Structure 1
Amino acid sequence: MLTIYLTRHGETEWNIAQKLQGWLDSPLTEKGKRNARELGARLKDIEFQTVYSSPSERSLCTAQLMMQRRTCPFVIEEDLKEIHFGDWEGQNRQVVSENYPQAYFNFWNAPHLYTSETGENFFELEQRLLAFFEKLKSLHQTGEVLIVTHTVVIKMLLATLKKQPLKKLWSTPPFIQDTSLTIVECVEDQLEIVLEADVSHISQEQEQVTER
């Protein structure tokens, strides 16, 4: 059986500033680094065959902090990038909502209607995500792998596995906190959710952060 450990990158400076990141990047905060190390400690006894990471620096840094001195192949996977926001990237959410009111509303409230002239829609994200997981299943029939990626990627995967309508993407739990842990097992070529967005490794004193 193949077991997939899936996590979101640690908190970043743009998360704090309420800026959309997408394919752009910003450094991890000290809190983000701490949470990554704590998740690594939680998973210290798992012998990962491979670590797959989005090429975003925030994901790569999270993966490296989790693994510390452990030796394991690292694979940078383009299909694990966050959804591409196009012209929105690097902009504050409030500014985007004012300049693109309908598109921004659709992103959060009617994702099945969301379109982007310079970025991706959710259907395009889903296609590259499903392509990656088909490749993953062909490469790993058994063992454990770690995937470090992004909020919308994880939400999209969970929704797809649950056969959840896209329009309910954001209205249905879970909330994807930084370094939250999701576990998926591949049983007879089918992906089954074992654990969703668990943050038991994070100190309860830490307040939740805004997604992405």
Structure 2
Amino acid sequence: MLTLYITRHGETEWNVEKRMQGRLDSNLTDKGKLHAQLLGKRLENTEFAAIITSPSGRTVQTAELIKGDRPIPIVKDTRLMEIHFGSWEGKTHDEIKEMDAHQFDCFWNNPHLYQNSEGESFQDIQDRVIAVLKDIEKTYSSGNVLIVTHAVVIKTMYMVMKQLPLEEFWAPPFIHGTSLTIVELNDGKKRFLLEGDLAHVQQEAHL
């Protein structure tokens, strides 16, 4: 049996500024770094065959903070990169609304109608998520694998593994930075053990 531990990168400077990042990048905030370290502490007794990460700086740094000094191989896979937003990247939500209010609304509220001629569609993301999940299952037939990626990619994994329609893309849970999702893969069956969990962050907040 293969168990996937799936997390999003920690909070970044552009997350705070409500800028769309996509293929562009910004640095982790101090909070983002702390939450990644807390997730690493939470998972310190879990043995991982590998950490597979998007090659974006924010995800690689998150992966390294979770890994700490453990000898776990980090594998970068471009198929785990965030959705490409074209000219939206680096722009604030308000700026994008001024550029294309209709498509911005579609992205968040009617994803099945979203189109971006300069970037990727949700179908594009789905195609590469299906491919990377198949490859991970082939490479790691058992054990634990940690995946560090982005919000849209993780929501696409939910959609694919739960066989949800695109209309339900943004259904709960919300994928916060360093939130943890755990999925067991066994003989083609997928069982979610945890979804978008932030116990490591909430525990720190109550200390």
Q: Settle same-fold status: TM greater than 0.5.
A: yes
Aligned length: 205
Indicate the SS of the match to 1:79.
helix
SS in 2 for 1:3: strand
Moved more, 126-135 or 160-169: 160-169
Q: For structure 1, which segment, 152-161 or 114-123, has the greater mean C-alpha deviation from structure 2 after superposition?
A: 152-161
Identity between Structure 1 and Structure 2 (%): 46
2:200 is paired with a residue whose SS is coil
Partner of 1:210: none
Aligned to 1:49: 49
The verdict on how the C-alpha distance between 1:36 and 1:205 changes in structure 2, with shifts beyond 3 A counting, is closer
SS of match in other structure, 1:123 = helix
Q: Does the CA-based 8 Å contact 1:8-1:148 persist in structure 2?
A: yes
2:113 maps to amino acid: L
Residue 104 of structure 1: aligned partner:
104
Partners of 2:203 and 2:146 in 1: CA distance? 24
> Paired residue for 2:19?
19
1:201 alignment partner, SS class: helix
Distance 1:61 1:120, change over 3 A: same
Q: Which runs of 5+ in 2 are unaligned?
A: none
CA contact (8 A) 1:137 1:189 kept: no
1:201 corresponds to: 200
CA contact (8 A) 1:4 1:144 kept: yes
Structure in which a larger fraction of residues adopt helix: 2
Aligned to 1:121: 121
8 Å CA contact 2:130–2:160 kept in 1: the answer is no
Give me the TM-score of the superposition, normalised by structure 1. Answer: 0.94
CA deviations over 1:13-53 (Å, ceiling 9, x no partner): 00001100001000000000000000000000011011100
Does 2:92 match 1:78? no
Between the aligned partners of 2:204 and 2:73, the Cα distance in structure 1 is: 34
Instruction: Report SS of the residue matched to 2:52.
Output: strand
**TM-superposed deviation, 1:160:** 2.0
